[in-house]
Amino acid sequence: MIRITLATVLLASPAYAADNKEDSCKYQGQVMAAVQAARLDRVSKADVEQSILDSAPEWPEQYSKAIPQLAEHIYAMKRRDLKATEFGPLLEQQCLENWDQIQEMKRQLKSN
């Protein structure tokens, strides 16, 4: 399920290609972790984006564009399931492992 989110996030944000793989994946993991933390703190889905932005996150601004997509994924899960897994590090790891494949998908979409 997280692989679908990974592809959605990476493909939805062309600005990510400007960053190197390690930084991009780290920032994406931080965004995912922030969304998960907000969900666990019972922030409503309607308020999650503003709540995270109000916390002055340390990632570059363009990564905040992924908050709505990640919120869709995280808020669809049961809170008890969110307590069992840290999705930020998981997203970062999968991003690193699938970087080349995602970049190729982006190139193909751009050329169509």
Sorting pLDDT into bands at 50, 70 and 90, what band is 56?
Answer: very high
pTM value surpassing 0.85: no
Cα–Cα distance measured from residue 28 to residue 85, given in angstroms and rounded to the nearest whole number: 16
Query: Which contacts qualify for 50-56: CB closer than 8 Å, 24 or more apart?
Result: none
Sorting pLDDT into bands at 50, 70 and 90, what band is 44?
Answer: very high
pLDDT for residue 106: 74
Q: List CB contacts of 6: < 8 A, sequence separation 6 or more.
A: 28, 91, 94, 95, 98, 102
Sorting pLDDT into bands at 50, 70 and 90, what band is 8?
Answer: low
For the chain, the straight-line distance linking the first and the last C-alpha, in angstroms and rounded, comes to: 27
Q: Does residue 36 carry a pLDDT above 60?
A: yes
